[in-house]
Structure 1
Amino acid sequence: MKYTRPFVLYLLCWLLSFSDSYAQSWVRINQLGYLPGGVKNAVWGTKADQAPSQFQLREATTHKIVFTGKASKPFGAYGPFTQTCRLDFGAFKGPGSYYLEAGTAVSPVFRIADNVYASTADFLLRYMRQQRSGFNPFLKDSCHTHDGYTMYGPMPDSTHIDVVGGWHDASDYLQYVTTSANATLHLLMAYRDFPQVFGDKYAANGLPGANHVKDVLDEARWGLDWLLKMHPQENYMFNQVADDRDHHGMRLPAEDDFYGKGFERPVYFCSGKPQGLGKYKNKTTGVASTAGKFSSAFSLGYALLKDADPAYAQLLKTRALSAWQMGRQQPGVCQTASVLSPYIYAEDNWTDDMELAAAALYNTTSDTAYQHAAWDYAQQEKVTPWLGADTANHYQWYPFINLGHYALATHSKGTTRQQLIQYYKTGIESVWKCARQNAFYRGIPFIWCSNNLTTAFAIQCYWYRQLSGDAAFSALEQANTDWLLGCNPWGTSMIGGLPAGGDTPEDPHSSFSVVGHYRVDGGLVDGPVYTNIYKNLIGIKLSKPDEYAAFQSNLAVYHDDAGDYSTNEPTMDGTASLVYLLAAKASEGAGKRQYDHGGIIRGDSSRKQLVLVFTGDEFADGGTAIRNTLRQQKVPGAFFFTGKFYRNPSMQTLIQQLKADGHYLGGHGDQHLLYCDWQQRDSLLVTKTQFVDDLSANYAAIKKVGITTAPWFLPAFEWYNDSIAAWASAAGLQLVNFTPGTGSNADYTYPEMGKKYRSSEEIYRSVLQYESSHAGGLNGFLLLLHIGTDPRRSDKFYNKLPALIVALKSKGYHFATLAEVLK
């Protein structure tokens, strides 16, 4: 298998299990890890008979047993296993790195920490950017720039229309409003509900570079821009670009020239009637399923952008209303069209889409007519039909759960709200009736895109819990999330590259991987299918021996193989839905804190408090001035020094003074190493051994000056990546870093650095300008300064620190300890 373990643990696993190749029992876990206060379960499975009566949770480094629990009742056979049971260690809440041991089976190492989901939603956006049509930032090139020519419209066939943009649907380059509008909506909802968990590392065009807009909102707007092109005016609405002639063979996106009109691709008008240019016709009966999706995405876009971009938002509102009217005038489903094969998105429901559209318009306009319309539509689909069923057609009940119920319930009261909550509960109970029969709590049918259904169902469970306050299905909700991250019979995460170092898809059915030999990070693959479905699909041939052969069964199969388009193809809409789910999990772990690459970079943004953070390595010329300022202003500080600093004889008096004053003193690395490349942040410049040794030396120096507790660590150069954060966590430390935006950290620059140099007055104005121009100001900020600077900087910013503290106090800010800001 592809996951990695520390050598000692690997040796232990080998001694106990004679290697994975000959093991008879396994422990399946969420490889990403578990929240300290969350549900924590693993699944033990065997090809033998005897189930363990208990299990142990061991600390990964010392192998010390930290928790012993009773295994659940045996659940019996499931998939490849002859016996299974659940291992519940939810009562253990201590952060750190651990592994589970049950009988002879040993799990991979995993973390328990409140930041295990931090940055994961942003990680998935890598795939969304890779899927962009028009300008593709991953390739730094453009594709499909001639789209397209119309079909089935009121205008003559082959009329040119500009619909360049949007996302490719999956590994092929078709583009559907059905999935793109749903993806856009989920990204917008993620931004609306969990803005604090997202970063700003990319510009609107998808290239690296912050633009003061959360990356998830940039990506959602890319979707909105394309949707506006697909609904360019009142009564004109298009449903898809290209068709299954696209299945011309694997290739990187380019100017496809096999549709009969040069590089243009067909653009299918929403005619409300069956379509299909070949022998296969869809069963379209109207346009409401597409129109409702258009309208809801536009409405939410308006609500989120009306202040930042009023003109654009007004256009979204206009199109939301016109799409709504088209749905009202032409009720029914608008299915996708094919030419060469019978494979289409055979959507059979549309009232859920119109319910969502009406609820969104009610939120936008406060017109109760929309609220009444939403309720009327809600009565026509109380429970999404596939919930509790063992099969369904491809995308038959899309978008897999009724999003309208949640949108309507959040703006309803009394009986209406309670009934909508009950509809969700009824659907969940239908799945639970099946799921509780097996150890994986699996109640999702193994149909095509089963992972998309899994994601959607977990969101429904989450929304039910939020709306009702009822945690009865929390274990079921978490089991569906865990399934996607490795707690499944195959023991693999279903997300490319997540977690780092885990068992994840490496050979997806994607031209980017097969042809371009690029990593396909962040994409959620289709997921397992029933074995009988797999055996009857056209054109599947594995390209290499099946590494999961031991875990295939008569129930379901999954292959990490480019030859299997049924289980291992990433999809854009499934990934976008998962962005919402992982953002919700990250938010639950972080509370109101903000993370970046596994490190906390901001505390509670709802509280008007901040902490002053100081770092030091070789210079400390500002030490006395800073200490005196903090004493006079009665302000606590957090100081992070390297081992070199702690061992420097000339620093000893200052260190003891800061300690006596009650300030926090922590680690900044021993030799001030640069851990990762400045341009390619994922590229490590140190090994794990080098990092651990350097960290250990830093903390040995801290201990020597009499500091016994220093749980927070600030990386050298204030630069790190997910691996550094994980390694720090494994050492029992929480990585923290400064909150970006103010430019306060530029106080180290000196004139010889040219354009990088910032004077103290510039820095002072920048901090106050940020405070006045950003929502939340400096709430929860870790405001970083340096305790000393290069002698070439004569304009020392610490001399302006008293004025800055007074100015911020006058604005109502409380200067708090690091513990207070991060709690």
Structure 2
Amino acid sequence: MKESEIFINQLGYRILDNKNVFVSKTAKGEAEQFSVCEKAGGKVVLTGPLIAAPDDEESGGGYFTGDFSAVQTPGEYYIQIGEEKSFPFTLSDNVYDELTLSTLKYFTDSRCGQGICHTGIAEVYGTGEQKNVQGGWHDAGDYGRYVVAGSKAVMDLLLGYKKCPQKFSGFDLLGEVRFELEWMLQMQREDGAVYHKISCYHFCPFIMPQEEKDQLVLAPVSTAATADFAGCLAYASGFYKESDPKFSAQLLQAAIKAQNYLFSHDDEFYINPPEITTGGYGDHDVRDERYFALCSLFAATGEKNYLSQALKYREDKKKDKPDPKHPWNCGWQEGFGWPFVSGYGTELLLENEDKLDADLISEIHSGIISQAEKYLETCDASAFKYCSKFVFWGSNGAICDLAHIMLMAFDLTGRKEFIKAAKAQIDFILGCNPLNYCYVTGAGTKSVVHPHHRPSGASKKVYPGMLAGGPCGALLDAYAKEHLAGQPALKCYADAEPSYSTNEVAIYWNSAFVYTLVRV
């Protein structure tokens, strides 16, 4: 169908959701109102006013919005403004069921090994040793497997599963996560340290995984990988305690072993050796990783020493001087990105409030609420209710991570504005954005069809259920530089295979999306 600049969630809305339409100044023309019409027959069921949306630098401004939350009859609809019509959408309380399943099946589609691909023996970099490491999820558009990325993905999925287990019906979440955990166990060295990643020495062309035959290499150990491993496995152990006590114990013992290594070693920051050019996932501040590991082990074991050591890192981080250009470096903040994992530790503390001092609980609560309120302010000043002023690589995953914090604030306060703002990030991803894209492959009317994803490119068949990284104002790849220069940040996206900084996929963006989708 003809595309207009009327922007809606292309999948649709649940019956009682907040429902907003957005429209460009060009598509609005002289119209002052919008109409919600039944897809079959065009009957108008609601007419409402269009009001100017906030002018923000990220979108470029010049947008209008309308609220049709009053429409609550299940069915298929479209929005009409003057002669312009939106893409169709559905109102139904199960409108996201298929999408949830699709985004979860992406993890199954990303499985490595199983006798099909990357079955060779890996070299342990710089040692002359070899190690057989099988399984795990391919990380992103490439075939590397990275502990820091996998840990974040597992945590998002388990936290979502614990909050809303009914949303995972029809999918064996614990079985899928176990596939990743069994790979992670193989990444641990005898002394407890954890190798940062396993990949080939260089990225391969756009070929299928079974066609990548180059030598596998285990990259050096790192504090980030070892701490994320400890935090992730300690938490995961609780999910298997009843169904498989032996596996549960194995996870917890591996986590304790990793933490004992951390206790006795200074920070080991990961930088790719010159011979290895695959994804680095380097991190030069690992206090949040150490905090996450210690909080998780405290939650799993109840040992107070883990808590006291965790709180030392929290207090130390509070002393950092604010850096306005890098707002994630502003003292203590909760974070859910792969380089900023403090939020996972704090969320596990909140699961064990009965073991914490009242003053600590109060401080944690007030910090989360204050941080979430800043994101609310950003949403209110955004044309599309976008919750970040920073539009960088992986922005679609990043807004889901910020939504996670707003959902924590909702859990603490019951304030509906937090969950509405979190849901607005899902709406943005599914079509309420200035490019009219549904950023999940195989979903919506205008979805991503040229992702930077090797299996899709090699097979000429787009894998469904993958969240594209999304707009990146920094223009970090050659294609983006050539085609997107001068655009507002939220328009700096290209549905083009070469644009890895806007159109790659990643397990930890999908996991963040899944967490937010099942929660809202």
TM over 0.5: yes
The equivalent of 1:131 in structure 2 is: 110
Moved more, 164-173 or 352-361: 352-361
Q: Does 1:239 align with 2:196?
A: yes
Asked if structure 2 preserves the Cα contact closer than 8 Å seen for 1:421 and 1:468, the reply is no
The equivalent of 1:344 in structure 2 is: 280
Q: 1:422 to 1:85 in 2, by over 3 A?
A: farther
The equivalent of 1:781 in structure 2 is: none
Asked if structure 1 preserves the Cα contact closer than 8 Å seen for 2:291 and 2:342, the reply is no
Q: Which runs of 5+ in 1 are unaligned?
A: 5-18, 136-140, 201-213, 259-263, 273-286, 586-823
Deviations 1:758-780 (A, max 9, x none): xxxxxxxxxxxxxxxxxxxxxxx
Give the aligned residue type for 2:343. Answer: N
In the alignment, the residues of structure 2 paired with residue 103 and residue 331 of structure 1 have an alpha-carbon distance, to the nearest angstrom, of: 65
1:440 offset after TM fit, Å? 0.8
Of 424, 428, 440, which residue of structure 1 is paired with 2:372? Answer: 428
Alignment of structure 1 residues 216-255 onto 2, 5 Å: 216-242=173-199, 245-254=201-210
Of 287, 293, 311, which residue of structure 2 is paired with 1:357? Answer: 293
When normalised by structure 1's length, the TM-score is 0.57
Deviations 1:603-632 (A, max 9, x none): xxxxxxxxxxxxxxxxxxxxxxxxxxxxxx
Give the aligned residue type for 1:268. Answer: A
Q: Does 1:485 align with 2:430?
A: yes
Deviations 1:313-367 (A, max 9, x none): 1111101111222233335463352647697324243232233222222222122
1:550 offset after TM fit, Å? 13
Asked if structure 2 preserves the Cα contact closer than 8 Å seen for 1:240 and 1:336, the reply is no
The equivalent of 1:36 in structure 2 is: 15
Partner SS state of residue 34, structure 2? strand
Partner SS state of residue 483, structure 1? helix
In the alignment, the residues of structure 1 paired with residue 324 and residue 425 of structure 2 have an alpha-carbon distance, to the nearest angstrom, of: 15
Q: 1:100 to 1:540 in 2, by over 3 A?
A: closer
Q: 1:381 to 1:329 in 2, by over 3 A?
A: same
In the alignment, the residues of structure 2 paired with residue 292 and residue 171 of structure 1 have an alpha-carbon distance, to the nearest angstrom, of: 25
The equivalent of 2:450 in structure 1 is: 507
The equivalent of 1:739 in structure 2 is: none
Q: Does 1:458 align with 2:398?
A: no
Asked if structure 2 preserves the Cα contact closer than 8 Å seen for 1:508 and 1:562, the reply is yes
1:521 offset after TM fit, Å? 0.9
Q: Does 1:369 align with 2:305?
A: yes
In the alignment, the residues of structure 2 paired with residue 390 and residue 491 of structure 1 have an alpha-carbon distance, to the nearest angstrom, of: 29
In the alignment, the residues of structure 2 paired with residue 508 and residue 488 of structure 1 have an alpha-carbon distance, to the nearest angstrom, of: 18
Asked if structure 1 preserves the Cα contact closer than 8 Å seen for 2:480 and 2:492, the reply is no
Give the aligned residue type for 2:117. Answer: C
Q: 1:561 to 1:529 in 2, by over 3 A?
A: same
In the alignment, the residues of structure 1 paired with residue 518 and residue 417 of structure 2 have an alpha-carbon distance, to the nearest angstrom, of: 22
In the alignment, the residues of structure 2 paired with residue 400 and residue 364 of structure 1 have an alpha-carbon distance, to the nearest angstrom, of: 18
The equivalent of 2:39 in structure 1 is: 60
Q: With a CA cutoff of 8 Å and minimum separation of 6, indicate the structure with the bigger relative contact order.
A: 2
1:520 offset after TM fit, Å? 1.1
When normalised by structure 2's length, the TM-score is 0.88
Q: Does 1:573 align with 2:517?
A: no
The equivalent of 2:350 in structure 1 is: 409
1:584 offset after TM fit, Å? 2.1
Q: 1:383 to 1:267 in 2, by over 3 A?
A: same
Q: 1:396 to 1:460 in 2, by over 3 A?
A: closer
The equivalent of 1:70 in structure 2 is: 49
1:388 offset after TM fit, Å? 8.2
Q: Does 1:192 align with 2:162?
A: yes
Of 127, 139, 164, which residue of structure 2 is paired with 1:169? Answer: 139
Asked if structure 1 preserves the Cα contact closer than 8 Å seen for 2:148 and 2:338, the reply is no
Asked if structure 2 preserves the Cα contact closer than 8 Å seen for 1:485 and 1:493, the reply is yes
Partner SS state of residue 558, structure 1? coil
In the alignment, the residues of structure 2 paired with residue 349 and residue 319 of structure 1 have an alpha-carbon distance, to the nearest angstrom, of: 23
The equivalent of 1:329 in structure 2 is: 264
In the alignment, the residues of structure 2 paired with residue 391 and residue 450 of structure 1 have an alpha-carbon distance, to the nearest angstrom, of: 15
Deviations 1:710-766 (A, max 9, x none): xxxxxxxxxxxxxxxxxxxxxxxxxxxxxxxxxxxxxxxxxxxxxxxxxxxxxxxxx
Q: Does 1:320 align with 2:255?
A: yes
The equivalent of 1:181 in structure 2 is: 151
Q: 1:127 to 1:306 in 2, by over 3 A?
A: same
Q: Does 1:522 align with 2:465?
A: yes
Asked if structure 2 preserves the Cα contact closer than 8 Å seen for 1:431 and 1:443, the reply is yes
Give the aligned residue type for 2:472. Answer: V
Q: 1:49 to 1:28 in 2, by over 3 A?
A: closer
Partner SS state of residue 404, structure 1? helix
Alignment of structure 1 residues 648-663 onto 2, 5 Å: none
Partner SS state of residue 312, structure 1? helix
Q: Does 1:269 align with 2:220?
A: yes
1:184 offset after TM fit, Å? 1.8
Alignment of structure 1 residues 639-718 onto 2, 5 Å: none
Give the aligned residue type for 2:202. Answer: D
Deviations 1:278-305 (A, max 9, x none): xxxxxxxxx1x22221112211221010
Q: 1:421 to 1:55 in 2, by over 3 A?
A: farther
1:515 offset after TM fit, Å? 1.5
In the alignment, the residues of structure 2 paired with residue 382 and residue 119 of structure 1 have an alpha-carbon distance, to the nearest angstrom, of: 42
Give the aligned residue type for 1:419. Answer: E
Max radius of gyration: which structure? 1
Give the aligned residue type for 2:350. Answer: A
Asked if structure 1 preserves the Cα contact closer than 8 Å seen for 2:187 and 2:194, the reply is yes
In the alignment, the residues of structure 2 paired with residue 233 and residue 198 of structure 1 have an alpha-carbon distance, to the nearest angstrom, of: 36
- Identity, % of aligned positions: 24
Asked if structure 1 preserves the Cα contact closer than 8 Å seen for 2:50 and 2:64, the reply is yes
In the alignment, the residues of structure 2 paired with residue 550 and residue 538 of structure 1 have an alpha-carbon distance, to the nearest angstrom, of: 11
More helix per residue:
2
In the alignment, the residues of structure 1 paired with residue 238 and residue 512 of structure 2 have an alpha-carbon distance, to the nearest angstrom, of: 20
1:397 offset after TM fit, Å? 6.6
In the alignment, the residues of structure 2 paired with residue 483 and residue 496 of structure 1 have an alpha-carbon distance, to the nearest angstrom, of: 15
Partner SS state of residue 411, structure 2? helix
The equivalent of 1:142 in structure 2 is: 116
Alignment of structure 1 residues 112-123 onto 2, 5 Å: 112-123=91-102
In the alignment, the residues of structure 2 paired with residue 194 and residue 386 of structure 1 have an alpha-carbon distance, to the nearest angstrom, of: 36
Alignment of structure 1 residues 281-300 onto 2, 5 Å: 287=223, 289-300=224-235
In the alignment, the residues of structure 2 paired with residue 384 and residue 476 of structure 1 have an alpha-carbon distance, to the nearest angstrom, of: 29
In the alignment, the residues of structure 2 paired with residue 388 and residue 93 of structure 1 have an alpha-carbon distance, to the nearest angstrom, of: 43
Asked if structure 1 preserves the Cα contact closer than 8 Å seen for 2:195 and 2:226, the reply is no
Q: C-alpha root-mean-square deviation of aligned residues, in Å?
A: 3.2
Partner SS state of residue 505, structure 1? coil
Partner SS state of residue 221, structure 1? helix
